[in-house]
Amino acid sequence: MNKVSSLGDRMEDVLEGLNSSQLEAVTSTEGYIRVIAGAGSGKTRALTHRFAYLVNELGVLPGNILCVTFTNKAANVMRQRIHKLTGDNDTGYISTFHGFCVNILQEDSHAVSYPKSFLVIDNNDIDDMLKIIYEERGLTLRDKTFAQARDMFEIRKCVSEPDYFLDMIQQPIDQLYEKYMNASEVNDILFYGYLYQERKTFAVDYNDLIILSLYIFQEHPDIALKWQQRLEYIQIDEFQDIDPLQYRLMSVLQSYHHNLFIVGDPDQTIYTWRGANVKYLLDFDQQFPDVKTIMMMENYRSTPQILIVCNSLISKNKMRMKKDLIPQRPDGVNVVCHLAEDAESEAKWIVKNIETLHQTGIDYKDMTILYRAHYVTRTIEEVFLKAKIPYQIYSGVQFFGRMEIKDTLCYLRMIVYKDDISFRRICNVPKRNIGIRRMVFLEDYTKTQGGSLYDALVKNIDNEIFKGTQARAFIELIESFASGYEDRPISEVLTDILNQSGYEKMLRTEGSQERLDNLAELKQSVYEFETSAGEETNLEAYLNNVAMFSNMDMADAKDRVKMMTVHTAKGLEFPYVFLCSMSEGIFPSKKTNTFESMEEERRLAFVALSRAEEGLYISQAAGMNYDCSLRYPSRFILDIDPALLQYTETPQQSLITETRSYIRIVDGRLRTSNQEDIFVIGERIEHKVFGPGTIKDVNMDKSAYVIQFDDMPTERQISFRVKLQKAEKT
């Protein structure tokens, strides 16, 4: 009796408080169902309550339900909510696609001759394997950076060589090793070396998990049928982010019961660079029979003032399903927009508003600063530290704590102080063969003779132990700067030390664009310091100023302002949001080179705006970038109907005119992202003036091909904008 009563109570809870569209989604159980769920419409609630409805009302066993999310965190949250609704410890298969494939391989690994104890590897593990391959085959980062190698692996596995796994599961390991050692091209050496390393350790990466699962289903229909029969109901969250391999896996799994429930929002597609294709969501009704589409547009998160701004922005996208979020909350305050004179003024404006909100009783933890890239936080952090406002950066390191910033500051400190802390950090960065054995020698010397590690190196530079190193060049570098830095601008010293030390070149070789962006921001900070402090300033004063920021002891309190990228904020919500650094070249990113990617940047801005519940503040900083280019307000500010924004000062018409003119120039460089129009390395083409040639490289950052034309002695870089024709191979 008690058990029956308890079940009835849970059943009532499952359907209680649902609006009409949520109720329709929860109680629609059979066939193909597509839910278009706008931001803040309660899609997680619909997914969890539908799972509980299947279990509590229909009696479906949890182990016969697959619920796919796109992050492990989201899966954990969903699992907890479902447990509360069902009271059952068995919550079925609630996981990411990759997590579910781990289940498949653990149960059926024999089908690919792998043990059940196989190893799932991430990027760090792949880099460790690459280090072995580079050393074994005498390769360097000049041949290919780790990031480039990982990208190449993904392209070969998913596109150009989809049958690669046969080498791993069918070929004897000694033959795979021989294939690796006999390879002569860099890409082949790396690829087959990587496959060998994977096979040797029975390791699988994220691509392998899905590809091997699909292979098992293809080659073993009995195993496929087992999983198809087991999964009576499948529901997939964030369907707009699904990629081709995940789509194939989903198609196989649903083909027995034909019960597929998908939830997504085409306006929140922000992962096309990872292979996501929003067409799977938009064309779902064309690929499956009798699809029922449910629109969930009621927004319970944000005030009407915030939502109308979101709607105004996203309406400028052409590739979308026309819809508007419908507010369900009472009126709030207007969305505020501030166009600051420079980055420091912008940061001070943010701090002023945060302090005002805090004085009214709002906790710091209820305020979040969002941005496009981590490097923009430097000035904000400096102002926060001065104002003693506690903050925490998510998925990122505080600016002056980032590796490349600390390394660079240690180079500057070595010039002035030659201290042991700085010496230990950068004496072997970039590599100078001053490793552990030689560091032990220097430390032992200082213990008996006194002095600094640098002094010990200078005094022992002729010792046999430092032969074959670049220790002497390091000493010459430090001494050359130490003898003349006082009469030079700090910005000049910084630029030269990064160049002459080889540090910046090292980052470029590694392909560390984010770290290079951070260095550019550091250069900007030096320039601003010089400008504000006057010509009497010096390197010591700058280092002391930085030390104040990097070493300031902030109270470790839970009540802290959050700072994070917009990508990190996806799926989250915050009472008060400050969206900062809304400048062309920052947001949208300067790397945006197609019309399609520009629309994705606008969707990303939409995601940022729609995170706010109570208050939304948008800001931009004018002035000049470090490369002396002017900063213009983001097009996404101009996309919003100005009547919907409360500007702190009405923008001058001349600024609007200049900005729109700049945007037209940028848009003139955009191309259409059509894969058929993108030529690959080795392909023969025809240029209307230069004639026939061969594609030698593709530079996506510059949106250009590197082409060796038949009638030219040297290679040329040709923009994607120029129409090229395919030519026959010679």
Is 237 annotated in the active site? yes
Catalytic residue among 611, 614, 620, 659: 611
Is 675 annotated in the active site? no
Is 658 annotated in the active site? no
Catalytic residue among 108, 167, 205, 237: 237
> Which residues, 6 or more positions from 359, have their beta carbon under 8 angstroms from its beta carbon?
none
Catalytic residue among 43, 45, 432, 560: 43
CA distances, 42 to each of 298, 486, 576 (Å):
8, 61, 19
Q: Count of CB atoms within 10 A of residue 341's CB?
A: 11
Is 504 annotated in the active site? no
Indicate the SS3 state at residue 50: helix
Per the document, the length of the chain is: 730
Distance of alpha carbon 335 from alpha carbon 355, whole angstroms: 18
Distance of alpha carbon 609 from alpha carbon 360, whole angstroms: 23
Beta strands 684-687 and 725-726: pairing type?
antiparallel
Is 43 annotated in the active site? yes
Burial tier of 569 (Cβ tally within 10 Å: 0-12, 13-18, 19+)? buried
What's the first-to-final CA gap in the chain, in angstroms? 83
Sign of dihedral through CA atoms 296, 302, 305, 308? negative
Is 179 annotated in the active site? no
Distance of alpha carbon 430 from alpha carbon 419, whole angstroms: 18
Contact assessment for residue 303 and residue 614, using Cβ atoms and an 8 Å cutoff? yes
Q: Supply the Cα-derived Rg of the chain in whole angstroms.
A: 29
Catalytic residue among 108, 205, 238, 344: 238
Contact assessment for residue 176 and residue 196, using Cβ atoms and an 8 Å cutoff? yes
Query: ∠ CA(291), CA(292), CA(293), 5° rounding?
Result: 110
Contact assessment for residue 517 and residue 373, using Cβ atoms and an 8 Å cutoff? yes
Distance of alpha carbon 500 from alpha carbon 488, whole angstroms: 16
Catalytic residue among 91, 235, 240, 268: 268
Catalytic residue among 13, 24, 27, 44: 44
Distance of alpha carbon 422 from alpha carbon 245, whole angstroms: 47
User: Which active-site residues does the annotation give?
Assistant: 43-44, 237-238, 268, 611
